[in-house]
A and B are shown apart, each in its own frame.
Chain A
């Protein structure tokens, strides 16, 4: 067995959640790595959609931005921003949304707007982007983010994106469609919403991590499922594919750009 990092385990565990043939709206960063790993391993027919309007894209390197030329060059088609959010997302043609954020709470609501008060923030974060509508217009939502007490919060500073809202049936009562968050994959394990309460509950754990480790890295008293599954470490194929993807990406992002000016 090859040694691996917690980040690699997180990306692999996230990738495994994506079924072959699904249509997936991809957030940048960790979700993008997981989605492309899935496509390059068990899910070759995964349809990836980025908010830049690149439909069915099959990049050979990970994009740095959501709109790198690599995504357009390898896409089935490239469509305008309003069309991807209305005809594809709002129309309900996307199975899975895959997001990350700065903060998450016990019901899978996300903050990517501010730390502190909105009008006088300690940290101004980038903001919503496509997340609020991805979370409410896809069938199933997946979330991937590293876990610590600083970002797994009892109370969000700002609710940018809705998960299970206040738990139980509050999401449905608010008239919000979709199945809501199905899992939060972290660098320690996997949290899934409990039946009924919809509270995120530790249901899977990475090897070498204890339940106490996960509890210590959570800002609310974390519930633990009756059965916590031990998640299978990355296979040699998964690790090799992920590392090769990151290697190709590093090389590509280091390329110098030259522009030929007319003489």
Chain B
């Protein structure tokens, strides 16, 4: 039985994520691994296939900094605020580099992850009928006939990211990981991955997980980095809340290329760690 390596975030990302890989930084609004995404930006990763149901601000930043060549997703906005301006600029104007889209609905993304997690080549669902999505994503959305009833259903290929990165509240010293709150497709993304890297708020002696809790066994985890506040400006349920004011403020920052670049230089490239980033924003003392 293997156990995860406890590594500094910088080393965990450098060892596991390389240019050209497919990477899923999951978490549905909650537990988005911002610290890990920022570290990939600092390390200058390129040509990544970024996978996430809801790209959120972290992929807006990675796309704007030129880390990605493909986006696999189902809803790419700033929730409750509006557009992801860097995602828009990449799709509309190819800035800073062109971005290919592999676009789905949430149900389709969920089925793709679930198929990957199950070791199946594709997922099947009652979806996409009458929509234009299959017309613009022919290589990833097909129709299949049920062999028992004859019903026409949608088929989508399994997603098996090279690396899935999750953020969680706690790990124990063995490397078992406990998440709670809104989990989105995190469980499926974790099981579907070739390698799973987890950032956690804290390490505890005992998880004391309730029965049926979402626990990832240590032997499924490649590496763990302890990063308090690692989901900020997303949130870690029971630890800190989502910074909705930051999400609203991001709209203005991201709207303009120069302002975006200046913000990223100052807040991400010029900070060595996530703790420095949080202190610079005045979120942590």
Contacts and interface: CB of A to CB of B under 8 A. Distances in A.
B133 A52 contact: no
A69 B185 contact: no
A69 B79 CA distance: 14
A171 B129 CA distance: 10
Given A53-B184, A132-B127, A162-B131, A66 B111 contact: no
A168 B30 CA distance: 42
Nearest to A165: B130
B101 to A, nearest CB: 9
A128 B128 CA distance: 10
Contact of A171 (B130, B186, B243): B130
A82 B188 contact: yes
B83 to A, nearest CB: 7
Interface stretch (B6-14, B70-78, B216-224): B70-78
Most buried by A among B81, B183, B243, B245: B183
A136 B152 CA distance: 14
A130 B105 contact: yes
Contacts of B79: 28, 64-67
A258 B242 contact: no
Interface string B51-65: 001100000000000
B75 A65 contact: no
- Most chain B CB within 10 A, of A67, A68, A122, A125, is at A67
Nearest to B26: A81
Given A72-B237, A80-B187, A51 B229 contact: no
A82 B130 contact: no
A59 interface: no
Interface string A15-30: 0000000000000110
B132 interface: yes
A80 B88 contact: no
A162 B130 contact: yes
B105 A132 contact: yes
B185 A80 contact: yes
B106 A71 contact: no
Interface residues of A, number: 63
Interface in B127-144: 127-133, 136
Interface residues of B, number: 72
The interface centre, meaning the residue of A29, A69, A259 with most chain B CB atoms within 10 A of its CB, is A259
Contacts of A69: 30, 181-182, 235, 237, 241-242
Interface string A152-194: 0000001111100100000100111100000000000000000
Given A52-B29, A90-B107, A171-B130, A257 B181 contact: no
Interface string A26-53: 0011000000000000000000000111
B232 interface: yes
B181 A64 contact: no
A159 B284 contact: no
Contacts of B76: 124, 126-127
B139 to A, nearest CB: 14
Interface stretch (A221-229, A234-242, A248-256): A248-256
Interface centre among B73, B104, B242, B248 (most CB of A within 10 A): B242
Nearest to A171: B130
B117 to A, nearest CB: 9
Interface string A51-81: 1111000000001111111011000001011
Contact of A131 (B105, B240, B248): B105
Contact of A174 (B30, B130, B187): B130
A147 interface: no
Contacts of A161: 131
Given A52-B28, A160-B133, A261-B275, A63 B80 contact: yes
B96 interface: no
B182 A72 contact: yes
Given A80-B187, A259-B229, A129 B106 contact: yes
A68 B92 CA distance: 30
Interface string B260-281: 0000000000000001001100
Contact of A90 (B126, B132, B183, B243): B126
Given A127-B75, A257-B243, 8 more contacts: A126-B77, A128-B104, A129-B106, A132-B131, A133-B126, A136-B126, A162-B131, A254-B245
26 contacts: A29-B80, A51-B106, A53-B182, A64-B244, A65-B244, A68-B244, A69-B30, A69-B237, A69-B241, A80-B186, A80-B188, A81-B28, A85-B110, A90-B107, A127-B74, A127-B75, A127-B76, A129-B54, A132-B133, A136-B129, A136-B130, A160-B131, A174-B130, A176-B130, A257-B242, A257-B245
Interface of A: 28-29, 51-54, 63-69, 71-72, 78, 80-82, 85-86, 89-90, 113, 118-119, 121-133, 136-137, 158-162, 165, 171, 174-177, 252-262
6 smallest A-B Cβ distances: which pairs?
A: A67-B29, A126-B77, A65-B79, A129-B75, A64-B80, A162-B130
